[in-house]
Amino acid sequence: MGPGSKIDSARDAFEIDRKALLHQVKVLLLTMHEAATELAMLAAENVFDKRVSAALKQRARTLRRASRKLDGIGDALSKAKFPKARRSRTRLRKRR
């Protein structure tokens, strides 16, 4: 199939979606990192009582763990390739 084919259009749409999702993952990672840093700083300053400071510290750790998992998804997205076309079962049966 040449330029302008359905496969080219699907490949272009795949790349647009992949890049948009990758951008959103990066933005979310940045936001999570900033929030975790802020919570950890508030906990370290001991502005609040020990119970609240401990909860803030725990939430900061939870955000960091979640961001590591999300980072793995970002890595997978950055390496994702357009799936190769597969023959449909119907087409295979007709050839027999």
Task: Give percent of the chain above pLDDT 90.
Answer: 72
The answer to whether position 61 is within a domain reads: yes
The answer to whether position 93 is within a domain reads: no
The range of the structural domain enclosing residue 33 comes to 6-83
Number of domains in the chain: 1
Q: What is the mean pLDDT of residues 34-61?
A: 95
Q: How far apart are CA 16 and CA 24, in angstroms?
A: 12
How confident is the model over 64-93, as pLDDT tens digits?
999 999 999 999 999 999 988 655 555 555
The answer to whether position 94 is within a domain reads: no
**Contact call for residues 15 and 78 (beta carbons, < 8 A):** no
Give residue 84's pLDDT. 82
The answer to whether position 1 is within a domain reads: no
Give residue 90's pLDDT. 52
Tally of CB atoms within 10 A around 49: 8
The answer to whether position 95 is within a domain reads: no
10 Å CB burial of residue 43 (0-12, 13-18, 19+) is buried
| Predicted TM-score (pTM) above 0.75 | no
